[in-house]
Structure 1
């Protein structure tokens, strides 16, 4: 079996002659020429595999899909325009019309917006549960439930999900488990090995690693049998009306039918296509994934240990630290190290939280204030006023986010420079009402 590092450099691209480049090319084209009308008809009717138009697929995109599927140990993958699009396409395909999703409360803010508002517009219901309350997952199941959804390591507090326990409940209810593993990365954790059926990534983050290109990928692990309860999954087991009497499950089977549905319906109809250039950029980043993630993980732990001793910091949310509520789960699921995205809380009262956070963040020089993670650069964000600003106070509390929480994404800079930058900024964290400018 090909090793991880070999797959991240070579998977999906084979060189069969000297005329083919050593690295994947950018296929910068919107459309494709067909050899004959008969061939075109076969492609458009799904009788023959291939590319019909750039909205559905592109050769550069296909290399990216195969590479990420290989890294996750999956059967197939679909690459789209962003991580948000990958989550949306996956849940729309699974929930179908009138479906229901059980989701963790501990999620990225943009995902919560999608689940509680936009999916509701589509008639898809969502019940949020505390991801650590295993009984709550079971209690939330309804006859309409079609998927469980959670993050392997939650953004921004770095809670570690007990994937196996949640997967067992999902499978007991006859539904798949979808895991967003953007923070986890396929190098640190492969959710499919612990029972997840679909794995989603914002490829913008660690997979790319350079912060220059948007992209998202969903990997079908090929483990969920939609044919076992055919009446529950008509989108796979009944005729696909736009293609006549074609039944996806009969034609493409386990591990492929989902990808065909997503591309031929949801990407085709809604248009969240990844550009060839962005797919190529992400491929370049993936080639160094393990090297970057290993260094970022080590740097993040060093920073977390330093912050845990700092008088201006009241709490550090890093699962590798002793005493963290998810320390044992991290030891079980993350043997290669904890992710480089975590958060910490400044000491002090809530009524001056924003001012104290601003006093620290605005003085950082090496860390950048950016709404992104997984970059080569070290980044910070203030979830309460940025990525999770749409949350109510109750939702923030349920997600473990306070008004003084600062999210940190460790990059590839010299760790000593990062520590010095934080110490310099934290020296200004003690902001009292009588010292605030008016």
Structure 2
């Protein structure tokens, strides 16, 4: 008989981590705590919670029992010490950047990122002097070459939205360690079912939970995961994490919370001060979605591979960007990091250019014309005029989102029906 492992395996954690039967009622599903405030036992308890001398719930903007269950579950799945749930993936990235950096600081960023991330970075640069230093390419050497004395972090995605390129997270993490920088990885397109960036050296992981974690296209949310191993006290660059907080009686987060100081700083500054908290209903729906994450990701990857292979061989298609196919650029990294497959989001280009791409999208019947990704339903969008519209022409082409390009997010339908829908849409393109 095999001994039960001390740490449950991934699928078990997806169902059970972070939640337990409700002690008050015995309810097995995680209760939804629809309350903005919580009654204190005493004035001393209230003061202690507000001054971070004691853990507990005070106001749902900062923490809520349903949201806390989601934080514990995602932290467990990512192998993190703690997590902070917020109102969207965009706010997760924003809170990470504002917690790490102040005006005048810089960070190295991947040249290929979600269009919303790129837009945020340029806005923060122009208005608040947080300077993105974009690597010239996607290799660890490219990231290292972009580092300057003002650099405070490295930011990349595990799988690039939308071209499905798999990043060398371990190689980039080695660069970050050599230079004493935290590595921030957006793991939205992979989910922890495919890649756990902390195992490859990442220090901070962010998600848009609106995608694969939730899965059904019902909610907006984000989460920040703290690996809990970066030595923040090595420098004086991260003053929100290592400096005194006068309004908390001189609290030094690294001293009082040594296991997860970055997560605590995000909660204090991000949620108490800035305020993008996650609603308990959205947390509940995301928790429910995560229960089937391993099953869904296997089907997502299998369907995407079949659809990508069909498109690759179609005479109307110029190219397909999906490294899960033999002979595709990035195939070796995909096999190394994501043997199940590089997710279900990818791009392809039509030989007929932009008119053909637009005609293809409007001709789809089963696949929805919709801007989200990572849902159980298959989706299509024209990124050059939507998600990546703000990029200059050359950057669009480098990111595989030119005017001839369609982004697909392949869902869980029978793959034969998806191929049939794509086939009829391509037939109308001519």
**Common fold by TM > 0.5:** yes
How far did 1:400 drift?
Answer: 2.5
Distance 1:115 1:311 in 2: 38
Give the one of 73, 84, 95 matched to 1:89.
95
Deviating 4+ runs (over 4 angstroms): none
CA contact (8 A) 1:158 1:318 kept: yes
Distance 1:242 1:354 in 2: 55
Compared with structure 1, are the counterparts of its residues 347 and 409 closer, same or farther at alpha carbon in structure 2 (3 Å cutoff)? Answer: same
Match of 1:170 in 2: 176
Task: Say which SS state the counterpart of residue 323 (structure 1) adopts.
Answer: coil
Match of 1:57 in 2: 63
Distance 1:110 1:216 in 2: 14
Distance 1:50 1:258 in 2: 18
Give the one of 257, 263, 284 matched to 1:259.
263
Give the one of 254, 260, 270 matched to 1:249.
254
Match of 2:117 in 1: 111
Match of 1:299 in 2: 303
Distance 1:291 1:77 in 2: 23
Distance 1:241 1:124 in 2: 25
Distance 1:267 1:119 in 2: 22
Distance 1:127 1:395 in 2: 15
Task: Say which SS state the counterpart of residue 109 (structure 2) adopts.
Answer: strand
Q: Out of 239-248 and 288-297, give the one that drifted further.
A: 239-248
CA contact (8 A) 1:71 1:186 kept: yes
CA contact (8 A) 2:135 2:145 kept: no
Match of 2:401 in 1: 401
Please tell me whether residue 181 in structure 1 is matched to residue 187 in structure 2.
yes
Match of 2:339 in 1: 335
How far did 1:120 drift?
Answer: 3.8
Please tell me whether residue 237 in structure 1 is matched to residue 245 in structure 2.
no
Give the one of 27, 32, 50 matched to 1:26.
32
Please tell me whether residue 39 in structure 1 is matched to residue 49 in structure 2.
no
How far did 1:325 drift?
Answer: 1.2
Aligned ranges for residues 305-320 of structure 1 at < 5 Å?
A: 305-320=309-324
Aligned ranges for residues 214-229 of structure 1 at < 5 Å?
A: 214-229=220-235
Task: Say which SS state the counterpart of residue 362 (structure 1) adopts.
Answer: helix
How far did 1:171 drift?
Answer: 1.1
Distance 1:244 1:97 in 2: 25
Distance 1:105 1:135 in 2: 13
Give the one of 159, 164, 169 matched to 1:158.
164
CA contact (8 A) 1:96 1:235 kept: no
Task: Say which SS state the counterpart of residue 77 (structure 1) adopts.
Answer: strand
Please tell me whether residue 356 in structure 1 is matched to residue 362 in structure 2.
no
CA contact (8 A) 1:98 1:123 kept: yes
Q: Out of 393-402 and 3-12, give the one that drifted further.
A: 393-402
Distance 2:249 2:299 in 1: 52
Task: Say which SS state the counterpart of residue 232 (structure 1) adopts.
Answer: coil
Summarize deviations over 1:234-262 as a string: whole Å, max 9, x none: 222221122122110000013x2111111
Please tell me whether residue 8 in structure 1 is matched to residue 14 in structure 2.
yes
Distance 1:154 1:219 in 2: 19
Distance 1:98 1:317 in 2: 37
CA contact (8 A) 1:185 1:206 kept: yes
CA contact (8 A) 2:87 2:222 kept: yes
Q: Return 5+ residue gaps in structure 2 as ranges.
A: 1-6
Summarize deviations over 1:244-300 as a string: whole Å, max 9, x none: 22110000013x211111111122222111100000010010000011110011000
Distance 1:23 1:114 in 2: 37
Match of 1:145 in 2: 151
Please tell me whether residue 322 in structure 1 is matched to residue 336 in structure 2.
no
Compared with structure 1, are the counterparts of its residues 370 and 307 closer, same or farther at alpha carbon in structure 2 (3 Å cutoff)? Answer: same
Distance 1:173 1:120 in 2: 26
Give the one of 266, 274, 280 matched to 1:276.
280
CA contact (8 A) 1:130 1:398 kept: no
Residue correspondences, number: 424
Task: Say which SS state the counterpart of residue 289 (structure 2) adopts.
Answer: helix
Match of 1:374 in 2: 374
- Aligned-residue Cα RMSD (Å) equals 1.3
Summarize deviations over 1:8-49 as a string: whole Å, max 9, x none: 111111226472310101000111111111111111111111
How far did 1:119 drift?
Answer: 4.5
How far did 1:135 drift?
Answer: 2.6
